[in-house]
């Protein structure tokens, strides 16, 4: 009964923590669209800047766009919603680009605002509630166009990896005592599945971390459980019984941090959410470490000299799951949530034509858009001079802002063409995939050390077989040597 009394509370805490993290990830939008837009439509009389103040500065709207204008002394950027109060329709600087740009946001007496669907703002329920609270009495409609992540694929792969981990823990329950409690943090790590392959990769690193540091953590928990007195006394005990005996363990801590940083930098994983998962997993692991009830507590005679690398076989299912996710995710198609078409398309060439016109307006032949007229430049005396060797086409476009509606127009074209966009595991592309190769490094110690251990065992058995009739005596002396000789640095030796 003591076994069930100890395991049930830990299981309940783990499940409750995992439900909370899944709910948190869902509410913050990590389960949602990888890309796309929500289109809000209201009456043209609704102030655009008021909508931006509600929805945030990252929305694409009339007031967020700008038009270039030759101010004769410099090139100016003018907000689209204030353009017509600055430039009249018969102004020769009005090249028609502003009219075409405005039609993207105002059409048929309707104002359109485009909201990028990214982690943190995609959630339809939260967005609908915000609009209902602020647009009281104002008719509006909102449609969501997004590419969904194949969460079912992510969770199926993670569940399969977790089941494989459970089987490995059962098969190795006698060889690696104490590792089995790692199963309590698996439900907590399930919330990382929102991030696809990088999330499963971080789950593998967390699993390796807690298996690697299980002995220091267990000793630390037991130390706090039985110690009392002043804080200085506890600190001395921690240094003596945890920090010093396991000092070689701490040298490998930067390796885990570096691998985790590489994955986070080249993926869309939210660092704050990742920290929340780690802290929760650590709390569950600490609690499970303090729930071991044994009638016999072995006392360590010889301090451990070298860390045990038993975690590779346990994280192998998750590493395989990462690369399965990378393989299958592009195959699973994403689709847009509406069949509506967008009629107004602004080509990138329209923007660059507008840019060239405004840049060269002051030195252009008045009343024509001919590019044959030679360009002018400001000479050293401060006066315009004709550059007969070049024309107005010789403009370095890198000196000016890129096409601001490139992403929105790509989205329009995909919707109009009915294309299904690759859902991918994130926006990191090749860099994100290459960053996940760091997980292979954590499989190497298990292969190298296991091979060395197998060779050592074979040599010892050969020695016993060569001396018949003295197997029992040699076995006793051999065990005594292992127990009390400090030359074997790859094993933990405990005695009662």
Residues 181 and 321 in one domain: yes
- The whole-number pLDDT of residue 124 equals 72
Q: What is the pLDDT of residues 168-208, one digit of tens each?
A: 988 887 777 668 888 999 999 999 998 889 999 999 999 99
Per the CB < 8 A criterion, the answer to whether 350 and 370 are in contact is no
User: CA angle, 179 as apex, 173 and 185 as ends, to 5°?
Assistant: 125
* Residue reference for tokens 């439509």: 41
Say if residue 60 is in the same domain as residue 89: yes
Asked if residue 466 belongs to a domain, the reply is no
Query: For the segment 217-252, what is each residue's pLDDT rounded down to a tens digit?
Result: 777 766 665 555 555 666 677 666 666 767 778 888
Residue ending a domain, choose from 427, 447, 468: 427
Burial of 4 (0-12, 13-18, 19+ CB in 10 A): exposed
253 and 359 share one domain: no
Q: What integer pLDDT is reported at residue 421 of this predicted model?
A: 44
Beta bridge partners of 106: 111
Which one has a higher pLDDT value, 403 or 449? 403
Q: Which residue has the tokens 């039609």?
A: 103
pLDDT digits (tens, 9 = 90+) for 351-383: 988 888 888 777 666 655 554 456 667 778 878
- Do 130 and 190 lie in one domain? The reply is no
408 inside domain: yes
Return the half-sphere exposure (C-beta side, CA atoms, 13 A cut-off) of residue 270: 17
The CA distance from 64 to 67, in Å, is 10
- 180 and 285 belong to one structural domain: yes
* Structural domain count of the chain: 2
Residue 350 sits in which domain range? 33-148+337-427
H or E element that contains 41: strand 33-43
Cβ-count burial of 463 within 10 angstroms (0-12 exposed, 13-18 middle, 19+ buried)? Answer: exposed
**Do 9 and 62 reside in the same domain of the chain?**
no
495 assigned to some structural domain: no
User: SS3 of 379, please?
Assistant: coil
């Amino acid at each position: 009964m003591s076994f069930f009394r100890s395991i049930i509370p830990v299981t309940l805490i783990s499940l409750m923590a995992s439900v909370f993290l899944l709910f948190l990830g869902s509410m913050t939008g990590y389960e949602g669209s990888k890309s796309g837009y929500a289109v809000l439509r209201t009456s043209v009389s609704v102030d655009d800047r008021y909508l931006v103040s509600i929805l945030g500065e990252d929305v694409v709207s009339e007031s967020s766009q700008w038009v270039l204008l030759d101010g004769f002394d410099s090139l100016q950027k003018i907000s689209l919603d204030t353009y017509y109060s600055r430039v009249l329709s018969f102004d020769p600087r009005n090249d028609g680009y502003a009219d075409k740009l405005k039609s993207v946001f105002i059409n048929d007496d309707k104002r359109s605002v485009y909201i990028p669907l990214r982690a943190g703002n995609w959630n339809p329920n939260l967005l609908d509630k915000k609009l209902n609270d602020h647009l009281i009495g104002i008719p509006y409609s909102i449609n969501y166009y997004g590419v969904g992540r194949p969460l079912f694929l992510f969770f199926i792969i993670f569940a399969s990896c977790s089941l494989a981990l459970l089987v490995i823990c059962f098969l190795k329950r006698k060889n690696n005592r104490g590792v089995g409690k790692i199963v309590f943090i698996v439900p907590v790590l399930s919330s990382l599945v929102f991030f696809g392959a990088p999330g499963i990769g971080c789950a593998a690193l967390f699993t390796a971390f807690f298996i690697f540091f299980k002995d220091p953590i267990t000793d630390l928990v037991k130390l706090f459980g039985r110690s009392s007195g002043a804080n200085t006394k506890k600190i001395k005990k921690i240094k003596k019984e945890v920090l010093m005996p396991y000092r070689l363990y701490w040298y490998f801590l930067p390796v885990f941090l570096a691998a985790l940083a590489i994955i986070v930098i080249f993926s869309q994983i939210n660092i704050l959410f990742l920290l929340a998962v780690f802290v929760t997993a650590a709390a569950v692991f600490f609690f499970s470490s303090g729930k071991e009830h044994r009638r016999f507590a072995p006392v360590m005679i010889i301090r451990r000299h070298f860390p045990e690398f038993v975690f590779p076989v346990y994280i192998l299912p998750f590493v395989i799951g990462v690369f399965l996710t990378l393989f299958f995710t592009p195959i699973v198609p994403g689709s847009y949530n509406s069949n509506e078409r967008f009629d107004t398309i602004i080509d990138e060439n329209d923007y660059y034509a507008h840019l060239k016109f405004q840049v060269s307006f002051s030195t252009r032949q008045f009343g024509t858009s001919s590019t044959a007229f030679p360009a002018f430049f400001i000479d050293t005396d401060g006066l315009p001079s004709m550059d007969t060797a070049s024309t107005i086409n010789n403009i370095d476009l890198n000196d000016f802002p890129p096409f601001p509606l490139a992403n929105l127009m790509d989205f329009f074209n995909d919707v109009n063409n009915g294309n299904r966009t690759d859902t991918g595991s994130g926006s990191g592309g090749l860099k994100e995939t290459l960053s996940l190769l760091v997980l292979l490094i954590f499989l190497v110690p298990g292969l190298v050390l296991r091979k060395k251990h197998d060779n050592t065992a074979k040599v010892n058995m050969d020695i016993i077989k060569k001396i018949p009739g003295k197997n029992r005596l040699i076995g006793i002396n051999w065990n005594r040597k292992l127990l009390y000789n400090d030359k074997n640095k790859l094993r933990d030796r405990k005695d009662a």
